[in-house]
Amino acid sequence: MFKAVLFDLDGTLLNIDMDYFLKQYFRKMVELAVEMGYKEGTLLVDQVWRSTEVMIADLDSESSNEEVFMRDFCQNWPYSPEEITSFFERYYQECFPRLKDFCSPFPGIPEMVKYIMEKELKVVIATNAVFPMSALQDRIKWAGLGRYDFELVTSYELMHFCKPHVQYYEEIAERIGVHPEECLMIGNDTGEDLPAGKIGMKTFLVEDMLIDKGSSHQPDWRGRLPDLFEFVRKNL
């Protein structure tokens, strides 16, 4: 039935409270900005949010998400592109890995992923493409999945669209060479993950760390992680 399984990362494969995690994420970012002598360190968070919103809204297929983010950020921050690039590179190399303590693996996830891969299905980490690959690789390791070779990890360097746009899911299907109807999208956010169904992908909503802000999208299946494990064994 399926040729590919797409997994959201945060709250689906990785036990993480994103609201709390992001507070720590930005706290460390501000600390580094102050350490590096950027007097506007406290304003950094606002600009990261604004540039991220621009990136998420952008539907230009000619520019990667990274290019959209950096272009907007550089236009609105009083430092050179080289200084900004250096700052983010240092942050993700030195500071981001220290956030490991604010999340934990879900029991049973590595075994499930191993089972799916042994079925020779393509497995994609379909997290929202707003982070660099290094930050995604860190979180994949924190989920206990560092040893697995995924078909695609949707980093902001690679992707041209973000969730919840259907173009994000279309780009994944095109990159891995399957039809949307041959994909199963598994995630915990009704607003970001279930739009995959609009292009024919089947969806499974994981409810352990459910995010539902009133989206009208309905999943094909839903349940907690034990239900997902059983579904995988019976249907993949």
| Contact yes or no for 172/124 (Cβ under 8 A) | yes
- Residue 124 has, within 13 A of its CA and on its CB side, a CA count of 27
Q: What distance in Å separates the CA atoms of residue 88 and residue 91, rounded to the nearest whole number?
A: 5
pTM of structure: 0.97
Multiple choice CATH, 4-16+104-235, 3.40.50.720, 2.60.40.420, 3.40.50.1000, 3.30.70.100 = 3.40.50.1000
Rounded distance between C-alpha atoms, residue 88 and residue 29, angstroms: 9
Q: Assess contact for 151 and 175: CB atoms under 8 A.
A: no
Which residues lie closer than 8 Å to 65 by C-beta, 6 or more apart? Answer: 55, 58, 129, 130, 156, 157, 159, 160, 161, 162
Indicate if the pLDDT at residue 130 is higher than 90. Answer: yes
Partners of 184 in the beta sheet? 5, 202
Domain ranges of the chain: 4-16+104-235, 19-100
Rounded percentage of the chain residues whose pLDDT exceeds 90: 94
Q: What is the pLDDT of residues 6-28, one digit of tens each?
A: 999 999 999 999 999 999 999 99
Mean local confidence (pLDDT), 192-210: 99
